[in-house]
Structure 1
Amino acid sequence: MTVDAHLVVRRGDFELDIALTIEPGETVALLGPNGAGKTTALRALAGLAPLSGGHVTLAGQDLSATPPERRRVGVVFQDYLLFPHLSARDNVAFGPRRQGVDRRGAHAIADRWLERVGLAEFARRKPRHLSGGQAQRVALARALAVDPALLLLDEPLAALDARTRLETRAELRRHLAAHPGATLLVTHDPLDALVLADRLVIIEGGRVVQEGDAATITARPRTDYVAQLVGLNLFRGRGDGHVVRISGDFVLTATDVVHGDAFVAFSPAAVALHPRQPDGSPRNTWPAVLTDIQRHGDNLRVRLAGPIVVAADITPAAAAQLDLQPGRELWAAVKASETRAYPAA
C-alpha cells in the first residue's frame, strides 16, 4: 500500500510543507536539524497533529479525517511510551485488542511477535524490569502487531547506549527488511539512516532540501547541513570549466567541468597541511590559520580560517610534527582530483 502525502502543518511562525511518497516494503529516512519539522511530519502521518493543508493517502484512501486509532499505522516513539502497568505481553496485545481481537487471540499475536524479537521469556515483565534494548524491541513488536500498512519510527535508537545501539540497529534492519508495509524513520543520526533506509529525505526549515539514495546524497550534498551530515567540506560558487570561483579572487580547481552556479565538495581527509607554501602538484593551495583542533576517531580534526573555512583530518603524528595549536599559520592544499564539482541548480 503506497503512502502518498502532502503535509502542511502551521504552528505559530513555523510551517511544515513537504511531499512524501513511500512504497510498500520501502524504508524512507527523514533527516534534518533540530526544529526542521521531522517529528511534526511523523505526528501528522499518525494523525496526532492536525493538517493545516494537504493530504495523507494510503492505498488511495484519504486518511486526513481518520482518527489515529483507526489508521493502519504503527508508531515507535523515541521514549517507547510503553504502558508501565502492563506486561510486555499485554503491551504488544494492546493494539490487536483495540482492533477487536479477543483477549486470547491478541495474546497469541503478542506471543508470536515477542518470539520474533527474541523476548519470549520476558513476556510477563513490566517495562521497568526491561533494559533499554529490550524495551525498544517490545515497542517495535507492539507497533508491528497491528499489521500496519505504515510503520513510523521516531528516533527509535536514540535512547540506547552505543553498544546496545549497534546490536539493536542490526536487529531492526532485519525486521524492516521483512516488513511488507511502508516505513518512515525519523532520525538525526546519519548512520541510522544509511544502514536502515532505502531512501533519504532531508528537510530544513520545514522544506525538503534534498532527497535520493545514500550514494547520491553523500556524493553531491546541496546544503551545509547535508555536507556536515556526510562529512564533507562544501562551497558554492560560479563554475567556468574546471574552475569554480568561490569568492573574490579565490577559486578552486576540479577535474569536473561545470558552468554557472555550482558546488565544490571535498573530504576533510583530502586537505593536506604544510608549514609553508608547497611546491609541486596541488592545484588548490591557500594560506590558513588554525582556529580549533579536536579528536575525531583515531585522528584529529582541525578547523581552518582563511579565504574559505574548512575542516581537515590529520594524524596525531602529523599534528605534532606541524606543532599545531590555535593561531598557527599554515598552508592548506587539496588536489583537483580530490574535489567534486557539480551544478547547484
Structure 2
Amino acid sequence: MTGGLLDARLVVDRGAFRLDAHLRIAAGEVLALLGPNGAGKTTALRALAGLEPLTAGHVTLGERVLDRPDARVWTPPERRPIGVVFQDYLLFPHLSALDNIAFGPRRHGVDRRRARAEAGDWLARVGLAELGKRKPRQLSGGQAQRVALARALATHPELLLLDEPLAALDARTRLDTRVELQRHLAEHPGATLLVTHDPLDALVLADRLVVIEDGAVVQEGDAAAVTARPRTDYVARLVGLNLYRGNASDHGVRLADGFTLAVTDRVSGEAFVAFRPSAVAIYSDRPAGSPRNVWAATVGGIQRHGDNLRVVLHGPVEAAADVTPPAAAELGLRPGQQVWAAVKATETHAYPA
C-alpha cells in the first residue's frame, strides 16, 4: 500500500445538530481530532468510514473519490481502503485473536492459509504471538486493543481511524499501550485520524491537532501552536490555561466587564490573554510592590490537582490558581473566603484574536 492524501469536507445534518468540518491528512501523518462530548468527533469518524451518510461535501482519498453526495458517489464501508479501531474494539467474540486479524485479508480475497499466516505476523508485531488461539473474552483490555489495531492494519489501509483507542484501559495499561501505539503509528505509511478527548493522547501520538466544538473546527495546528495560543475556553482548559478575550491597546487588554489586564506583549484590537494557574498568587491582604494585576476575589472551590491544590476564584477576573497545600493552610483557604489575587504582567501572554 502507498498512502494518499485524505481531503474531506464532512457535512452531516442530524436534526438540530450539524457537522461541517474540513479535514486534510497527509500520508504518514497522524491527525488528532479533539473536542468536548457532542462536538461531532465520532460523527466525523463514522462519516469517513461510510457508516454515516454525508448531507453534503466529499471524501477523497488519494486519487479516489469515496463519497460525494452532489455527484451521487458513495462507496460502501467494506470497499473503502480504511481500517477502523472502535472504542470498544468490537472483536468477533466467536473468533480467536488470530482469526479476528485474518478476517480482513480474507474479506479482501486472500486465501485462508495466507491470511492466517499474515495474521500471525501481525500478532508477533504487536507482541501477542503466543495468544493467537485465545478468544476476546480471554484477553486483557490492552491485549484486546492490540488485536483490534492489528486487525485494522492487516488490510494495509490507506486511512486508519482510531476512535478513543485508549479510553477503555486502566491508567497503567493505558501508559504502556500508548507507547506501543505510538510505535505502530510511526510505522504506518497511510494517513491516521485519532479521535480523542484526552489531550495527552493527542500530544503524544499526533503530528497535528484539529479541535471541533458544536460541529465546527475552532482551532488547528501543531501541538506547540495550539497549546501556546488557545482560542476557546475548551482549548484553554484542555491545555491548562486561564483565557480571556478583550480589546487591547498599548500594554493592556480591557475585558468585557471593564477590568484591564496589564500585559507585556504589544497588541491592539481584539485580543486574547492567557496565563497559567501557577502564575496566580493568592493573598489575604492586598499585595504591594512591583506592578502587577491585582483584584479582589472570592474562593469558589478547592480541589486536589497533582501535588498542588487548584483554587477556583470568582471576581472581576474568573481564574484558576494553583497553590501548594502548605500555602493553602497558611492562608486558611476555604470556599466563600475573600482574598486578593495577583498575576505579574510578565506571566501573561497576549495575542490577536
Q: Same fold (TM over 0.5)?
A: yes
Match of 2:66 in 1: 63
1:108-257 pair list within 5 angstroms: 108-257=117-266
1:333 maps onto 2:345 in alignment: no
Tell me, which stretches of 5 or more residues in structure 1 are unaligned? none
Match of 2:102 in 1: 93
Q: CA deviation at 1:162?
A: 0.2
Q: Which amino acid aligns with 2:328?
A: A
1:80 maps onto 2:83 in alignment: no
Query: Which residue among 28, 32, 36 is the counterpart of 1:33?
Result: 36
1:17 maps onto 2:20 in alignment: yes
Q: Which amino acid aligns with 2:6?
A: V
Cα distance in 1 between the residues matched to 2:163 and 2:306? 27
Q: Which amino acid aligns with 2:259?
A: F
1:308-327 pair list within 5 angstroms: 308-327=317-336
Q: CA deviation at 1:73?
A: 0.2
Q: Which amino acid aligns with 1:263?
A: F
Query: Which residue among 302, 316, 319 is the counterpart of 1:307?
Result: 316
| Identity between Structure 1 and Structure 2 (%) | 72
Match of 1:271 in 2: 280
Q: CA deviation at 1:283?
A: 1.6
Q: CA deviation at 1:249?
A: 3.3
Match of 2:71 in 1: none
Cα distance in 2 between the residues matched to 1:293 and 1:59? 51
Post-superposition CA distance 1:58-113 (Å, at most 9, x none): 11210011110011100000000000000000000000000000001100110010
Post-superposition CA distance 1:147-205 (Å, at most 9, x none): 00000000000000000000000110000001000000000000000000000000000
Match of 2:51 in 1: 48
Q: CA deviation at 1:122?
A: 0.2
TM-score by length of 2: 0.97
Does structure 1 retain, via aligned residues, the 8 Å contact 2:257–2:316? Answer: no
Does structure 1 retain, via aligned residues, the 8 Å contact 2:309–2:322? Answer: yes
Post-superposition CA distance 1:234-288 (Å, at most 9, x none): 0000000210001343100111011011100000000000111101114201010
Q: Which amino acid aligns with 1:333?
A: A
1:342 maps onto 2:345 in alignment: no
Matched residue SS, 1:63: strand
Matched residue SS, 1:106: helix
RMSD: 0.6
Tell me, which stretches of 5 or more residues in structure 2 are unaligned? 68-73
Q: Matched residue pairs, number?
A: 344
Cα distance in 2 between the residues matched to 1:70 and 1:261? 48
Cα distance in 1 between the residues matched to 2:195 and 2:291? 41
Does structure 2 retain, via aligned residues, the 8 Å contact 1:282–1:334? Answer: no
Post-superposition CA distance 1:273-307 (Å, at most 9, x none): 01111011142010101010000011000000000
Matched residue SS, 1:176: helix
Cα distance in 2 between the residues matched to 1:283 and 1:316? 24
Does structure 2 retain, via aligned residues, the 8 Å contact 1:97–1:103? Answer: yes
